[in-house]
Structure 1
Amino acid sequence: MTEEKACKALAALSQETRLRIVRRLVIAGEAGMPAGELGTAVGTGSSSLSFHLRRLEEASLVRSRRSARNIVYTARLESMEALVHYLLDDCCAGARGSAGCIDAGLPCRDAEIGGVDPAVAQAPILRT
């Protein structure tokens, strides 16, 4: 995942209604949910729901398909997994298992370069 795609996904998720939509679709699994049912579940009207779903689709977090007369929405779990990888992959500079290191059970995708993305390794560390 690129930094640009990660920013787009995080921006989409930073709004309460969109976060509720994604969480509800994760619960629905592969079957997904028809738009009307989804709107009722998250407590939003059809025009507002359409706006939020469009933003989530643009961020590759949900997909839609037509089923008879309904549009069914499904969470794109592979995109969410890629986002989590992007955020956690370089935890503790790739030294999995060190004290305080977060290991979300994800395989290190940068193992071939020592677990550290060279761009991240060279980036200045900001301390607060």
Structure 2
Amino acid sequence: MELLKKIIILSLVFVTVMSCNKLSDFFLPKGSCEDVASIFREIECLQIFEKLPAWDSPYMKSEGTHLLTGEKCVCEDDTRWLNTYRNILEKGDTIVKRKGELSFSIHKKDTVIVVKWECEGKVYE
């Protein structure tokens, strides 16, 4: 239960900080919100993490097992969006980011964290 409290607090702090346009500009590619949203919609990652992303890179490249095929796979995200959540990821967690969608979820043993994409204070679907 203590882990769940930490995760919730960490998530709320991160969402609060990311809602500040100046800081979110650092993490997001330049362009209109619609342009950036179209980039994020192309990302797909359906994976159980076995090897977490390298900490020395701003981009996510994780190794694991694909949820649908059961085969080994690598998830890559060159936008830095998914990678901003790597501090809450642990081996065995599952990430579900479907192509065409702007939200994703991190499934932990005792909780699911849903992340919605925001740009300039507006939540995009």
Is the TM value for this pair above 0.5?
no
- From the two aligned structures, give the one with the greater strand fraction: 2
- From the two aligned structures, give the one with the greater helix fraction: 1
TM normalised by structure 2 equals 0.30
TM normalised by structure 1 equals 0.30
Structure with higher Rg: it is: 1
